[in-house]
Amino acid sequence: MSLQRRIEGLRARIQSACEAAGRDPVTIELLPVSKKQPTALIREAASLGFTRFGENYVQEGADKAAAAPELSFVLLGPLQRNKAKPALQAFTELQSLDRPELAARLRRLAEDLDVVRPVWIQVDLWDEATKLGGCTETDLPALIEALGGDARLPLRGFMAIPPPEDAGAFVQMATLRDRLQQDLGQPLRLSMGMSDDLEAAIAAGSDQIRIGTAFFGERTR
């Protein structure tokens, strides 16, 4: 199946999910996850209107950002402190902030580099952190405090990878987002939902879905 046909299929699924949930499809961002995909295929997606792509690995994403500077790349995967500087240099947004010490390092580096990089906190409500990363609900206040409202690292929202077997996980995450919006007095977006569960994510209130296989097809490497 061609890339264009896969995208059309995804848009149809998003449209149907939004109709069922009483939502406007325009409010849902489809973020292609280009991990292990060739730059040529990313450029084909760009020719079809996409300008932002999610990457899981710092070095791979940095290489693609250098090869396609007209596009924006978002870091989705775990970020180690020793890779914080190249991550800030290569990515326009970081979605996997999950601990106070990383926030502190990013703040220092963002000031040194004189850059502004929106961040999303990766949240884990289901004890999945050991394999997927993420900040627990208990540790969220300390992480938000570590960000300190820094204008160089504006908090955009929360990213989550709910366990597929938990039907209520998306609703849990949406409820947490709504509460923190009120507590912090600012709008916060929610990024959750992938190829197999985008409908459940949209029904719960996700603002962004991160799609890899259903967008690009099976990885070739």
pLDDT digits (tens, 9 = 90+) for 127-155: 875 557 899 999 999 999 999 999 999 99
Residue 53's pLDDT is 98
Q: What is the pLDDT of residue 81?
A: 92
Q: Sort strands 208-211 and 155-160 into parallel, antiparallel or unpaired.
A: unpaired
Q: What is the mean pLDDT of residues 20-43?
A: 97
Domains, the chain, with CATH or none: 3-216 (3.20.20.10)
Share of residues in the chain with pLDDT > 90 (%)? 91
Pair 92, 71: CB distance under 8 Å: no
More confident residue, 62 or 221: 62
**How far is the C-alpha of 189 from the C-alpha of 36, rounded, in Å?**
27
Global confidence as pTM: 0.95
User: What is the pLDDT, as a whole number, of residue 164?
Assistant: 80
- Other Cβ atoms within 10 Å of 135 Cβ, number: 24
Q: Are 15 and 33 in contact (CB under 8 A)?
A: no
Instruction: Return the pLDDT at 221.
Output: 58
Q: What are phi and psi of 43, to 5 degrees?
A: -65, -35
**H-helix or E-strand containing 146?**
helix 140-147
The answer to whether 54 and 26 have CB atoms below 8 angstroms apart is: no
* CA-based end-to-end distance of the chain: 18
CB-based contact 53:42 (threshold 8 Å): yes
**Section 172-194 average pLDDT:** 96
The answer to whether the beta carbons of residues 199 and 28 sit under 8 Å apart is: no
CB atoms closer than 10 angstroms to residue 45: 21
Residue matched to tokens 């209520």: 168
Give the CA distances from residue 178 to residues 96, 105, 171, 175, 182, in Å, rounded to whole numbers and listed in that order: 20, 28, 10, 5, 7
Handedness of CA 140, 143, 149, 154 (dihedral sign): negative
pLDDT confidence of 86, banded at 50, 70, 90? Answer: very high
Q: Looking at the predicted structure, is the pLDDT value of residue 169 above 80?
A: yes
Q: pLDDT digits over 107-131, tens only? A: 999 999 999 999 999 999 998 755 5
Q: What's the rounded Cα separation, in Å, for the pair 90 and 4?
A: 28
> Is residue 191 predicted with pLDDT exceeding 70?
yes
> Which of the four pLDDT bands, split at 50, 70 and 90, describes residue 165?
confident
Residue 176 has pLDDT above 70, yes or no: yes
Task: Give the pLDDT of residue 59.
Answer: 97
Predicted confidence at residue 15, as pLDDT, reads 98
